[in-house]
Amino acid sequence: MVFLCEEYTEDWRICVTKSRVIQIITELLICSIHPFPGIDLFFDHSFPVINFVNYKRNHTIQQLSDQFSPYLLLILPMLGRLYLALRTLLLHSRMFNDAGSRSIGAMNKVSFNLQFVLKTLMTLCPAKALLIFITTIWVIFSWTLRACELEQGENHLTLLNSAWLISVTFLSIGYGDIVPHTSCGRLIAVATGLMGSACTALLVAVFSKKLEMTKAEKHVLHFMESSKLTKKVKHCAANVLRETWLLYKHAKLMPTFNPRRVRAHQRKFLQAIYRLRTMKVRQRELQDKSNSLVDLAKLQTNVYERVADISLRQEDFQNQLTSIEEMLRSIQKALLQRNVIHSESFDNR
């Protein structure tokens, strides 16, 4: 019935594809795994207790423990049911249930799937989404690590110790005070490190976006830098004029020629020219940067103003043409009346 309502077909077998069959079988397998309470009593838990204190004294490198309970094969796959939480997030999303948003998305060929909803959450509230995701991963991995290390007897990790190990591994610190002793636990530690690196990259992207200046702030900063450079250019130009006058004064107008002072003013004159050129180069670079700050809204406003100006000029030109046509018609009428008068006077004669 779901396929019939979704595809609007008469036969449900038409809508059944290979990918859908695989998806249905996978969901049935994940949801069918349900270990009953007390089923772990049927598994053998007899294993030697290892004294890790003496073990560390006699060995420099710890070996992996071979203790593995088949009960974990029934517990860990149950974590696959977390896809139901993502499906609930999709089905209860406002954009997914809004007919207007769905229509706009269909016109723009945008499918409202889970990927689009997650991108929207990362765009609208990235900090909250990352906090919830990191907390969920931390709780799940802590419980999974504790379940994997449960077969170590008296030396197994408690839930708090597992949470501490997941935290220091997630943050790429790795104190080494608590380590996993099973293959399953070390796989969880590796997965935690990978997830920590990915979440760190996402956090850097979020904070860089938060620290980025807005367009208004960029325009204000550009105006302040532009005014500062304009003042420096004027100051350097004034220094060039001053050194030019002093050089001409000591070289031509003074009664006694002092070559030392002339060389000093020549040196200052060249330095003033170099500073003026440097300030002009910086001013051109700032102008090039300002061209990239012109936003689309401002450009659109300028285009609208020019179009409105052109339309006004066109209306004025059309009004002038209309007035010229009226004047020509009045002249034509006057000429016709004059011809009629001349013809009547000629007939009377």
0.75 exceeded by the pTM? no
Expressed in percent and rounded to 5, the helix, strand and coil fractions of the chain are 80, 0, 20
Domain residue limits at 286: 215-294
Exposure string of 155-180, with b = 16+ CB inside 10 Å and e = fewer, is: ebbeeebbbbbbebbbeeeeeeeeeb
Does residue 183 share a domain with residue 145?
A: yes
pLDDT of residue 211: 84
Distance, CA of 343 to chain centre: 88
Same domain, 169 and 250: no
Q: If you write DSSP's letter for every residue of 196-227 in order, what string do you get?
A: HHHHHHHHHHHHHHHHSPPHHHHHHHHHHHHH
Residues 79 and 124 in one domain: yes
- Which residue among 266, 294, 322 closes a domain? 294
Are 72 and 170 in a shared domain? yes
Give dist(CA 82, CA 132) in Å, integer: 14
Q: pLDDT > 70: what percent of the chain?
A: 81
Average per-residue pLDDT in the chain?
80
Q: Which residue has the higher pLDDT, 298 or 280?
A: 280
Query: Which has more confidence, 190 or 214?
Result: 190
Question: Is there a single domain that holds both residue 191 and residue 283?
Answer: no
The residue among 210 and 13 whose pLDDT is bigger is: 210
| 203 and 54 both lie in a single domain | yes
Residues 206 and 220 in one domain: no
> Which of 189, 211, 233 represents a domain boundary (last residue)?
211
- Domain-embedded: residue 16: no
Cβ-contact 129, 122 below 8 angstroms:
yes
Please state the domain count of the chain: 2
**169 near 145, Cβ under 8 Å?**
no
- Whether 329 is covered by a domain: the verdict is no
201 and 222 in a single domain? The answer is no
For the ranges 39-48, 75-84, 173-182, 247-256, which has the lowest average pLDDT? Answer: 39-48
**DSSP assignment, residue 82?**
G
CB 64 within 8 A of CB 186: yes
Q: Same structural domain for residues 230 and 192?
A: no
Domain boundary (169, 189, 211) is at 211
Cα–Cα distance measured from residue 103 to residue 19, given in angstroms and rounded to the nearest whole number: 27
CATH of the domain at 101: 1.10.287.70
Phi-psi region of 50 (alpha: psi -120 to 50; beta: other; left: phi over 0): beta
In angstroms, the CA 196 to CA 192 distance is 6
Give 310's pLDDT tier (boundaries 50, 70, 90): very high
Lowest mean per-residue pLDDT among 49-63, 68-82, 136-150, 227-241: 49-63
Same domain, 139 and 265: no
pLDDT tens profile 240-276: 999 999 988 888 888 888 888 889 989 999 999 999 9
Q: Is 202 exposed, middle or buried (0-12, 13-18, 19+ CB in 10 A)?
A: middle
- Indicate whether 57 pLDDT > 70: no
Q: Are residues 194 and 224 in the same domain?
A: no
- Contact call for residues 120 and 108 (beta carbons, < 8 A): no
Nearest to 167 by CA among 144, 146, 141: 141
- For residue 155, being part of any structural domain is answered with yes
111-140 pLDDT per residue, tens: 788 888 888 888 888 888 899 999 999 999
Is 60 exceeded by the pLDDT of residue 66? no
CA distance 210 to 33: 44
> Is a pLDDT exceeding 50 seen at residue 51?
no
In a domain, 163, yes or no: yes
Same domain, 200 and 225: no
pLDDT band of 69, cuts 50, 70, 90:
low
